[in-house]
Amino acid sequence: MSPWQPSFRFPKLELHRRSVEAKQLVESPSAQLQEFLVKLGSALLSVGTAATDIQRTLKRVAIALGSPNAALIVFPTLIFVGMPEEKETRFDVAESPGGEVRFDRAARIYTVVDHALAGTITATQGIEAIEAITAAKPRFNTLVRVLGHGLAAAGVGLVLLGAEPLSMVYAFVLGVLVGVAKLLVRPGTYAAILLPVITAFALALIVFAAARTVVVAEPLQVLVPPLVTLLPGAVLTTGIQELAAGDMVAGASRLVSGIAQLLFLSFGILAALTITGVPASTALLTTHPALGAFQPWLGVLLFSLGIFLYYCGPRRSVYFLTLVLLVAYGAQLIGAVLMGSVFSGFFGAFALTVVAYLIQSIRGAPPAVVCFLPAFWLLVPGATGLIGLTQSASGVNFDANSFPTIVGSIVAIALGVLVGTALYRQIFSVAPARWGLRLV
């Protein structure tokens, strides 16, 4: 051997790609498979899963349980399932049984998905499991949930608006009131439909009236945080994501719904502004006081704890939810430094997606969809979009580029989700099976 020839060799790295396609585990489908697919799809719709992801998931479940030729059509509130073995096409209307997404329910639904893909439950058992999940009571009682909503409002006020301590206290109190209102309203009623605009109007009346007496120095720091769970950031982003994936009907309908909800909230605030007579320059002007290095991160922790309590997170999921929110917020800050605020959402959504999908396979971790919803409220199209829209409509800080900026932020976040999902699927395909990663 030559003295100049290295005496070692680098180990050969071999990546064995595994298929992302489902395997047929049952020779022939059971008579209840069609009903199971309908109920499972409806359950996934009710927890906010994108139509594209639901269709992909149901197709894999159908293949695993013996029906590879099942025909599936998924809309944001409606699902159709046709099977060659059945004469009729079944459909179902999706509506969250509790009026809102509950994280404990979402986690149990995805557990049913995992068991179905593994072939460890039959269609009949799956139907029974979904019915039991639907009938289950919330993990936390009403008092704990409304206090959690108040904590979430205080936290988001600190993160996005740099709220002063007194403003955070006001936001907490109003957040508790909003939480009570949301839990009292029955889903599917006109009251539930009108809840965003009525809530925004009532809160704006209180806050603007207090602003006249100089009790509230920064009205938006108090008004916007309690409304955070009514903001359509996730709906708008999911709509763009579905459009990019080719689901034109689902994506367009979600976009229209999200824009309408944002306009309703803005209308309620402007109506209260007109009634109280507070100058728009006083009521809607925002200032961001200088924050310490730790204060926004403290806000993220408060927000995470509040969301965990209000939405009844599964046991131990608060740790993973907090991790995902910290990663998303940190990545968004880095993106703002590198490419500006409009594109910062791409970095936040990308990091959020990859981390949420990776940790969802850890024991005790929630499904990724549980982490997506609160993270979208911290990203750009949430509270900042409502503030910009309301200010522009009232003439305060009017900027003709505000609407393209909001739209650009939503598109950036949707692209971040798409790129993150694509990367995770590549990671899944080369990762060892013993890692137990869940396919999306």
What is residue 20's predicted lDDT score, i.e. its pLDDT?
63
Length of the chain: 440
Which of 361, 294, 355 is closest to 325 using CA atoms? Answer: 355
Where does residue 122 fall: left (phi above 0), alpha (psi -120 to 50 degrees), or beta otherwise? beta
Task: Tell me what pLDDT residue 292 has.
Answer: 55
Task: Tell me if 206 sits within 8 A of 237, measured CB to CB.
Answer: no
24 lies in a domain? no
237 with 189, same domain: the answer is yes
Pull the structure tokens for residue 326. 């910290």
- How far apart CA 261 and CA 231 sit, in angstroms, is 7
- Residue 303 near residue 172 (C-beta atoms within 8 A): no
Q: What is the mean pLDDT of residues 227-247?
A: 78
Residues 282 and 198 in one domain: yes
- Distance (Å, whole) CA 238 – CA 53: 11
Q: Is the pLDDT of residue 7 over 60?
A: no
Q: Has residue 27 been placed in a domain?
A: no
Which stretch, 134-148, 233-247, 338-352, 368-382, has highest mean pLDDT?
Answer: 134-148
Strand 71-74 versus strand 90-93 pairing type = unpaired
Question: How much is the mean pLDDT over the chain?
Answer: 80
Task: Tell me what the mean pLDDT of segment 352-377 comes to.
Answer: 84
With bands split at pLDDT 50, 70 and 90, how would you rate the model's confidence at 92?
A: low
- Per-residue pLDDT band for 408 (boundaries 50, 70, 90) equals confident
More confident residue, 407 or 137: 137
Judge whether residue 235 has pLDDT over 90. no
Same domain, 281 and 363: yes
Shared domain check, 175 and 39: no
Please check whether residue 12 lies inside any domain of the structure.
no
70: alpha, beta or left? (left if phi > 0; alpha if psi -120 to 50) = beta
Average pLDDT over residues 130-141: 90
Which tops the pLDDT comparison, 127 or 413? 127
Asked if 42 and 74 touch (Cβ cutoff 8 Å), the reply is: no
In a domain, 28, yes or no: no
DSSP character string of 151-165: HHHHHHHHHHH---H
Q: Are residues 164 and 266 in the same domain?
A: yes
Residue 26, φ and ψ in degrees, nearest 5? -120, 135
Q: How confident is the model at residue 326 (pLDDT cuts 50, 70, 90)?
A: very high
DSSP characters over 190-219 = HHHHHHHHHHHHHHHHHHHHHHHTTS-S-H
pLDDT at 98: 46
Note the pLDDT of residue 304.
Answer: 93
- Classify the C-alpha dihedral 427-430-433-434 as positive or negative: negative
pLDDT beyond 80 at 6: no
More confident residue, 162 or 145: 145
pLDDT in the model for residue 51: 84
DSSP for 345-402, please give it: HHHHHHHHHHHHHHHTTSTTPPPHHHHHHHHHHHSTTTHHHHHHHHHHHHTTT--TTH
Q: What is the C-alpha to C-alpha distance for residues 386 and 325, in angstroms, rounded to an integer?
A: 21
* Res. 393 pLDDT band, cuts 50 70 90: low
pLDDT of residue 13: 44
CB burial of residue 105 (10 Å; 0-12, 13-18, 19+): buried
Of 135, 152, 180, the residue that ends a domain is 135
pLDDT digit string, tens, across residues 258-309: 888 888 888 888 888 888 877 766 666 655 555 556 788 888 999 999 999 9
Flag the least confident range among 146-150, 281-285, 390-394. 390-394
Taking only the tens place, the pLDDT of each residue in 63-84 is 988 888 888 888 877 888 888 7
Three-class DSSP category at 40 = helix
Q: Which of 80, 105, 135 is the last residue of a domain?
A: 135
Residue 39 and residue 178 in one domain: no
pLDDT, residue 1, reads: 47
For residue 26, being part of any structural domain is answered with: no
Q: Which domain holds residue 289?
A: 142-435
pLDDT at position 10 is 44
Same domain for 195 and 88?
no
- 7 assigned to some structural domain: no
State the pLDDT at residue 49: 83
Domain boundary among 135, 156, 190: 135
Residue 374 domain-assigned (yes or no):
yes
106 shares its domain with 149: no
Beta-strand relationship, 78-82 and 71-74: antiparallel
In this prediction, residues 120-148 reach a mean pLDDT of 91
The Cα–Cα gap between 339 and 349 comes to 15
Summarize pLDDT for 40-55 with one digit per residue, the tens. Answer: 988 888 887 888 888 8
Q: How many domains does the chain have?
A: 2
Indicate if 120 and 265 belong to the same structural domain. no
What's the whole-model pTM score?
Answer: 0.84
